[in-house]
Structure 1
């Protein structure tokens, strides 16, 4: 017989330490020869990213290649990009090139050599300590170079920089001489990603775009012939445009390009022959391979994400779906698409190919992200690394459901509902549960429906969670994404409020115990919801993590280059609608703040800097609103250290306990001061 106790007071074996220890997932999966390599988080080691290697024989466990403090990560566009690449060699084992987070240099290592110490390939910065950054490498052993994206600061401001494709010698001669780095492209484009060499080695392709566009707004596929001396001939655009986002481009074995373009309103796969581009600038015709109202790609928040991968023989492994992405194998000749078998419902944009096998990183509502391999000849799938383990009895995890709510004007709002759930406890029949609206970052992103111990931390204690993929989220076509154009702070706030009100109206949630929380752009929506008339009186409290609070400040030098003009589309041109920037900013409406709130911030955050929190707190001071501000040394945009995650999770629960009147003694309380 279940023990009856109020919602929010149930005991749970999922503590904050468990949440922290398993924060993050494998990423940047790739193949070198017959081996799989990837990066993996180490929260207990200061949040570094380790580089893992799975031997090809399949009988050994993954090996961490580099000991601490090596941290395989970079800061290109601040969110980072593909931090490693490798090449098989005839003797001596593979050659691996990677970026180290502490100094942002590019290093080479021969892991099978007797002395496998990394050696630097690029110099330390000569302008500022963060002056040179590298990512998205392609190791070309025959050329003796690694080709990659170079981000170079030309001044001290966050937008004083340039990006080019560059060739770095593998012999280490550029480690002390910047002049030894060959620049392959000029300064025509602000952003570059995805350098790909054609199978015959005669052509290079890459993606490019410029401010104020973001990569999900409009990109171009550039190609150029490679001269005998390794330089590039003048490049041409063969696909894409101001209102067409190409998220990825890959060469097929026949020299044509496969691209994921949203020209149809959905990111679909096309084939483009760059050799058919006219000398007059005319472009080759793109041929759709599997036209569907589904997404075969997503928003490129990191450089080097991979949603599809050509296989030998002409097949293509590809992610696809609406609101979630699963792995399928596409026959481009017939358009037939066959999905991989297995329980996984969400695949990360990180695919690797080894002969006829394709590996990916996949999860489900019951399993964490695992590395799964599909044999395309047999259709057999198997977990090969990062195996999911039930760290607690799965009965403590929520039983989620995907729902579509109705918003203003009858528009659809997609969300994932995670009701309170406990195997041994229930609440009194007359009691309704508290619910927290979780707002994802981006805002051009989405919340995947996968096992999340942080969600289970709350639901197993009797607090419901609803993740809202509000208008502007990815996964539902370009029209759904474009709902947020010039409407940030309106559509996102309205959609979250509509979901919360519906849950209260239908008797799923307690209308007096609703909360909202989010980080980054989700922090913006949370703060805006606490200060906007669109959600007035709806939320009893909110958790706001590394947020944007002042649009005008963020648009005039208080953020990094990648998003420095993002508000042009989200809010409108600052020069034309300055009042809109003020009207929507939580900073300008601190006097409307009535609900208790928790503010969490990394002091090293250059994307959403602490100064915005400090200004907001100054405006709130003396208004009698209970709140707490926790600022963390050594943390940037997104918490990575175990001790930070523990404190943040427990502080959030403490906020809900104090606001909702929940009696708990198993957390470190946070003091709310007016």
Structure 2
């Protein structure tokens, strides 16, 4: 029973910033190596590194326990296209346990690891080591790059019979962020390339700007991979390439068998019978198709107006996984991703049971079992496995445990609002919730509109302790999957084309205004927040005339603030021409860039804000924040926190704690006096703002 009345934003909560930081991040890149499961896991308290986790099969005496394979400072994470992708792979061996190859974040070299063998002095002996006790130290397989961003590797395929690892190589040819080439390469497992770039055997040329990792057919005779070129992003148009593999490991007769400028193929893989499968949006939705290697018409295996894939932000994402018996494990849904088993002959789809409403793009198959990373509105991401023979699901690792009484968790609602021109706007609404506190009966609560990053992405409906940190204190949250978001087909996704800074801003404002109109939110105590592209939307919401006066404050993290500079070389190669589809070609529509630039429109900002930035961010560099704040001057109060050692997205526990606490402090100051008149002042905070007009941590 709710017993205490207190101002919104002031409710006591056991969910503190330290708890948020400790639970930041989730398991990623789940992979089966023989009968074992491997994945990466976050370590916020260890500098934000990613460790490599291993789950061996049970021996019948009890449930197996996952173990961390690599101690600090090893950091299993690739920087290819800066967002990375599958950073490791492995192969089982008859003796000595598995052989694993991984990318180390600090130097981006590939290393070989044989965790069940004694320490080996070189790669060749590591590969050949027998089952001695102890654990081998990682041994480098690739050289250090000396130009620009160096040599980077991702999405490896370990081929012990060939003595090689096939993967994507990203090689910088100059100091600039776009002076880069990408090819598929074969890396010797014997370590002969550890100091010799010339020992890396290139499998493809660099005719395409981007490509994904290799997928070898069951008989080893064919190789499939994906390519695309500027200015397309992988959700715009990609090609599925296929080549014959010769006996000596060369590729011949490479050709395109699917895809094109207006068709996005985001995953391809081989079924056990040797047929080629691909997730393509040729119907307007990412559906699973069987592909004819000869170039014939692909067959849609389950025609539905649902997504069976999502945006390819990280190389190696896996939304479907063929099983040995011909069935295919798939993720599907509208605005969510649910695990199901697809019968490719009948097209029947059988959903997996259980409380999990969202599954990550990381499916791993072990015989008739399929494992994934799943979460729900009341549980964080766990390693879950489905036995397709019995239909039984079980949690294997990363078990969700309630760090606090779940009575403090929010109770979300799926909502669809009506935006301009009658267009639908999808959102998740999280009202303030506390087991024994409520706000004043004559007041509606403040709300924060969360704009997700991407912008070609979406906010999943899962338990997030950072979100609960605010709702348990009496501040509502609405996550908006604005036009341009994934999960609702290509038409919804394309709504943002040339309308970035317009449609996303309007859709967020639609949700905010409707929540206020219906009395769910206090219309005088609304805020907007987001990071990366969400930071752009938040900053744009402070300067766009169409939403003037709507928000009382904003929390902006590692944002794009100067789109013209971003389109003119001030970002990494992957997104260097993204604005051509989001806004238009800079040389053709310069006025459009000026009319939407938070930097150039900074004089329109009239409310206090928080700006958070990583000083190592090469995607949204801190120089944009500097220019923005120079234009702001001392007109409005703000707090700017710039963190050394952080890049695009915060990973260190101390950074996350500071950021979350500062965001709450901002809302408490701005919302402290309760509802204000709609005609009242909107630019003053209730108290002094630490760091007004200054940069901390520089």
Match of 1:360 in 2: 372
Is the Cα contact below 8 Å between 1:651 and 1:670 reproduced in 2? no
Unpaired runs of at least 5, structure 2: 120-135, 675-686, 694-698
Match of 1:409 in 2: 421
1:51 aligns with 2:52: yes
**Could you tell me how far 1:60 is from its partner in structure 2?**
2.4
Match of 2:75 in 1: 71
Match of 1:6 in 2: 7
Q: Whole-Å Cα distance in 2 between the matches of residues 32 and 38 of structure 1? A: 10
**Could you tell me how far 1:313 is from its partner in structure 2?**
1.2
Q: Whole-Å Cα distance in 2 between the matches of residues 392 and 254 of structure 1? A: 48
1:384 aligns with 2:396: yes
Match of 2:172 in 1: 153
Match of 2:27 in 1: 26
Match of 2:678 in 1: none
**Could you tell me how far 1:234 is from its partner in structure 2?**
3.3
**Could you tell me how far 1:16 is from its partner in structure 2?**
0.2
Match of 1:597 in 2: 609
Match of 2:291 in 1: 272
2:137 to 114, 117, 120: 117
**Could you tell me how far 1:253 is from its partner in structure 2?**
1.6
Is the Cα contact below 8 Å between 1:656 and 1:662 reproduced in 2? no
**Could you tell me how far 1:268 is from its partner in structure 2?**
0.3
2:147 to 124, 127, 149: 127
Match of 2:129 in 1: none
Alignment of 1:572-591 (within 5 A): 572-591=584-603
**Could you tell me how far 1:670 is from its partner in structure 2?**
5.5
Structure 1 stretches (4+) deviating beyond 2 angstroms?
A: none
SS of the equivalent of 2:147 reads: coil
Match of 2:182 in 1: 163
SS of the equivalent of 1:234 reads: strand
Match of 2:127 in 1: none
- What is the aligned length? 661
1:332 to 344, 351, 358: 344
**Could you tell me how far 1:92 is from its partner in structure 2?**
1.2
1:212 aligns with 2:212: no
Match of 1:652 in 2: 663
Match of 2:312 in 1: 300
Match of 1:503 in 2: 515
Match of 2:43 in 1: 42
**Could you tell me how far 1:2 is from its partner in structure 2?**
1.2
1:88 aligns with 2:98: no
SS of the equivalent of 1:534 reads: helix
Q: Whole-Å Cα distance in 2 between the matches of residues 328 and 63 of structure 1? A: 28
1:104 aligns with 2:108: yes
Alignment of 1:338-487 (within 5 A): 338-487=350-499
SS of the equivalent of 2:511 reads: helix
Is the Cα contact below 8 Å between 2:637 and 2:689 reproduced in 1? no
1:640 aligns with 2:641: no
Is the Cα contact below 8 Å between 2:614 and 2:650 reproduced in 1? yes
SS of the equivalent of 1:233 reads: strand
**Could you tell me how far 1:669 is from its partner in structure 2?**
9.1
SS of the equivalent of 2:521 reads: coil
Q: CA RMSD in A?
A: 1.1
Q: Whole-Å Cα distance in 2 between the matches of residues 56 and 227 of structure 1? A: 36
Unpaired runs of at least 5, structure 1: 278-282
Q: Whole-Å Cα distance in 1 between the matches of residues 109 and 313 of structure 2? A: 22
Q: Whole-Å Cα distance in 1 between the matches of residues 253 and 198 of structure 2? A: 22
Moved more, 111-120 or 457-466: 111-120
1:628 aligns with 2:659: no
Match of 1:611 in 2: 623
**Could you tell me how far 1:67 is from its partner in structure 2?**
0.8
**Could you tell me how far 1:127 is from its partner in structure 2?**
1.6
SS of the equivalent of 2:101 reads: strand
Match of 1:522 in 2: 534
SS of the equivalent of 2:523 reads: coil
Q: Whole-Å Cα distance in 2 between the matches of residues 4 and 242 of structure 1? A: 58
Match of 2:251 in 1: 232
Is the Cα contact below 8 Å between 1:255 and 1:273 reproduced in 2? no
Q: Whole-Å Cα distance in 1 between the matches of residues 249 and 404 of structure 2? A: 55
1:512 aligns with 2:513: no
**Could you tell me how far 1:473 is from its partner in structure 2?**
0.1
Is the Cα contact below 8 Å between 1:471 and 1:484 reproduced in 2? yes
Q: What TM-score results when the alignment is normalised by the length of structure 1? A: 0.97
Q: Whole-Å Cα distance in 2 between the matches of residues 133 and 505 of structure 1? A: 51
SS of the equivalent of 1:587 reads: coil
Match of 1:561 in 2: 573
1:320 aligns with 2:332: yes
**Could you tell me how far 1:662 is from its partner in structure 2?**
6.3
Q: Whole-Å Cα distance in 2 between the matches of residues 260 and 127 of structure 1? A: 36
1:549 aligns with 2:561: yes
Is the Cα contact below 8 Å between 1:367 and 1:451 reproduced in 2? yes
Match of 1:280 in 2: none
Is the Cα contact below 8 Å between 1:194 and 1:249 reproduced in 2? no
**Could you tell me how far 1:574 is from its partner in structure 2?**
1.1
Q: What TM-score results when the alignment is normalised by the length of structure 2? A: 0.94
Q: Whole-Å Cα distance in 2 between the matches of residues 662 and 671 of structure 1? A: 19
